Amino acid sequence: MNRLAEKIKNARIAANLTEKELAQKSGVSISYLLQVESGKKVISEKIADQILSSLGEKIEFIDPKLEAQEKASEKPMENKKVASKQQEQSKSKDHVVPTGQWQDALSGIVKRIPIYDLVRWENVGYKEHPVIDNKVEGYNGDKLLYVKVTNNQVSGLRIKMNDLVFVLESHEIGKNGIYLLEYQNKRIIRQVMKVNNRELSLIQGGATEAEIVEQKKVKVIGKCLRVSFDL
């Protein structure tokens, strides 16, 4: 707001007049007066004198250089406030960490499936999947996991080192397929076929001979659904 606009506004308030009343008294429109008082309208000395005279005030000479200096001193402060606000917004975008409530809300949209190292059986990361009708890929999301293969022992099954195997937790051998197993205190991936009610055939694939083992010595962790890899 310039000094002339400020003088008019202060004089009106001192006279206990509303904008409408002053506009009528000084012969200007209410919209014009509002623009003048807000500093949006550049007012001529003649109109300023007309308005101030109706308030019993006189126009005073205002040094343009002094007013320009005052405006210039106000501008850096405004710029500083804008810059500070932009920095805060930028920080909020870069460093937002979802709260527990946000994570609970997102859990109904996206499911984080854990990835385990096949040998060490340590959690090494997550892969996100969309949740559709409370299912992930058509399965219960809480029973899904990924296994990162750390060797080429089952390359005959087209599963190679660093591939991720998508697994559905299960503790039984259903139809013949590829399973994640615990055998001789190790976690392994094998193609499994039932030989009889007591024995299983564990196949690595390729030219490797199948290993016939007692079913009770094998713990089933889950069925392998598919394998993915990075190009």
Q: Is the pLDDT score of 62 beyond 70?
A: no
Distances (CA, A) of 35 to 42, 59, 170, 188, 223: 9, 18, 75, 79, 75
Q: Chain centroid to CA 27: how far? A: 57
Lowest model confidence (mean pLDDT) among 68-82, 124-138, 149-163: 68-82
CA distance 174 to 187: 19
CA distance 191 to 186: 16
Q: Is the pLDDT score of 121 beyond 80?
A: yes
CA distance 27 to 39: 19
119 — phi, psi (to 5°)? -85, -55
The predicted model gives 12-28 an average pLDDT of 88
Rg (CA), the chain: 39
Spell out the domains of the chain, with CATH numbers in brackets: 3-93 (1.10.260.40), 103-228 (2.10.109.10)
DSSP per-residue string spanning 69-137: HHHHHHHHHHHHHHHHHHHHHHHHHHS----HHHHHHHTTTEEEEEEEETTT--EEEEEEEE-BTTBBT
Q: Is the pLDDT score of 131 beyond 80?
A: yes
Residue 88's pLDDT is what? Answer: 65
* Sheet bearing 144-148, strands edge to edge: 123-130, 110-117, 144-148, 164-169, 218-228, 177-183, 186-194, 199-203, 211-214
Residue 136's pLDDT is what? Answer: 92
The predicted model gives 167-184 an average pLDDT of 91
Top-confidence residue, 169 or 153: 169
Count of C-beta atoms within a 10 Å radius of residue 228: 10
The predicted model gives 160-164 an average pLDDT of 93
Q: Is the pLDDT score of 85 beyond 80?
A: no
Count of C-beta atoms within a 10 Å radius of residue 69: 11
CA distance 32 to 74: 25
Q: Are 146 and 114 in contact (CB under 8 A)?
A: yes
Nearest to 46 by CA among 34, 31, 29, 28: 28
